[in-house]
């Protein structure tokens, strides 16, 4: 077919590329072929979410708040612990504690899965230029595609509830874990790596004892971004029936309830600040970060 013929076909007002129909057929094929696997994934995700949610919701509020404040104290000190405790008292005061803990459970489960996939993939991409080149456009697609688009096939596959929210959150938050891990390992001084080779260390030992420790501050920055992106999906998860603060935000939006929307949104902000400060403090406590601060001082 000549270039003129192709151009005339593409500019024909009646021409339409049936890409959406192909994707629809592909989703139907996936459901028919891997229905059992999807049921297993659904069961595992629901089990993990409900287990974490039970741990956070079953004890009295003050016990969970003190434990979370204690983690803040261990991470950075009494100021962060006191701020966290005040924030949690505010969440309880606006009657959003149960929803906040459900959202925290969703964030923890989604972040853990995203990091369990993203960090090994980042290590693999850092060790192979071909893998890096193949993964990069996929990550670009995952980050730029609107999250609402993820929900359409995910809801079809997993129905409504926490699972579609978890899956969409994992897909949306996965990219920083891969990118920051690859970046951190690639930024390690090659002379240090070559010195390890010169002393007869195996590639696995070099990765474990040289590259990962030196890349840890960058990897922890990726962990922080994964958690923050997961928390940003709370509202979207509420659209598909996931429990938590997102459900109240969606309800407030549909009823134009300013007070409920502000209270749920404030609880999201408090959770975000707590998780951000915790992960940042853990990154600052790494030996490499301490050495860099000592050198700069």
Q: Which residues contact 35 (CB under 8 A, 6 or more apart)?
A: none
Query: What pLDDT score does 286 carry?
Result: 64
- Give SS3 for 43: helix
Q: Of residues 273 and 20, which shows the higher confidence score?
A: 273
Mean pLDDT for the chain overall: 83
Q: What are the φ and ψ backbone dihedral angles of 2, each rounded to 5 degrees?
A: -75, 165
pLDDT for residue 160 is more than 80 = no
pLDDT for residue 9 is more than 70 = no
Query: What pLDDT score does 83 carry?
Result: 92
Q: Model confidence over 173-228: pLDDT tens digits? A: 888 999 999 999 988 888 888 888 787 778 888 888 888 888 888 898 889 899 98
CA distances from 108 to 86, 105, 113, 160, 243 (A): 22, 5, 9, 20, 14
Domains, the chain: 35-296 (1.10.3720.10)
CA distances from 200 to 124, 131, 188, 197 (A): 22, 26, 19, 5
pTM: 0.85
């Amino acid at each position: 077919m000549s270039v003129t013929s192709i151009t005339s076909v593409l500019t024909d007002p009646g021409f339409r590329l049936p890409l959406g129909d192909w994707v629809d057929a592909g989703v139907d094929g996936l459901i028919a072929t891997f229905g059992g696997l999807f049921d297993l994934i659904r069961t595992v995700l629901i089990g993990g979410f409900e287990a974490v949610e039970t741990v956070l919701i079953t004890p009295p509020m003050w016990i969970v708040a003190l434990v979370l404040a204690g983690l803040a104290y261990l991470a950075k000190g009494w100021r962060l612990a006191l701020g966290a405790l005040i924030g949690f008292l505010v969440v309880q005061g606006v009657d959003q504690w149960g929803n906040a803990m459900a959202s925290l459970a969703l964030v923890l489960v989604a972040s853990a899965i995203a990091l369990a996939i993203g960090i090994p993939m980042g290590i693999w991409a850092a060790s192979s230029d071909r893998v890096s080149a193949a993964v990069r456009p996929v990550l670009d697609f995952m980050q730029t595609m609107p999250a609402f688009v993820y929900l359409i096939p995910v809801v079809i596959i997993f129905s409504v509830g926490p699972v579609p929210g978890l899956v969409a959150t994992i897909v949306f938050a996965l990219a920083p874990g891969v990118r920051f891990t690859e970046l951190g390992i690639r930024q390690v001084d090659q002379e240090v790596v070559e010195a390890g080779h010169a002393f007869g260390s195996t590639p696995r030992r070099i990765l474990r004892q040289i590259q990962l420790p030196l890349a840890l501050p960058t990897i922890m920055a990726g962990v922080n971004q994964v958690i923050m992106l997961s928390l940003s999906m709370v509202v979207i998860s509420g659209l598909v029936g996931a429990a938590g603060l997102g459900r109240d935000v969606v309800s407030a939006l549909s009823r134009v309830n300013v007070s409920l929307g502000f209270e749920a949104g404030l609880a999201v902000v408090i959770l975000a600040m707590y998780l951000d400060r915790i992960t940042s403090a853990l990154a600052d406590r790494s030996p490499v970060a301490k050495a860099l601060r000592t050198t700069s001082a």
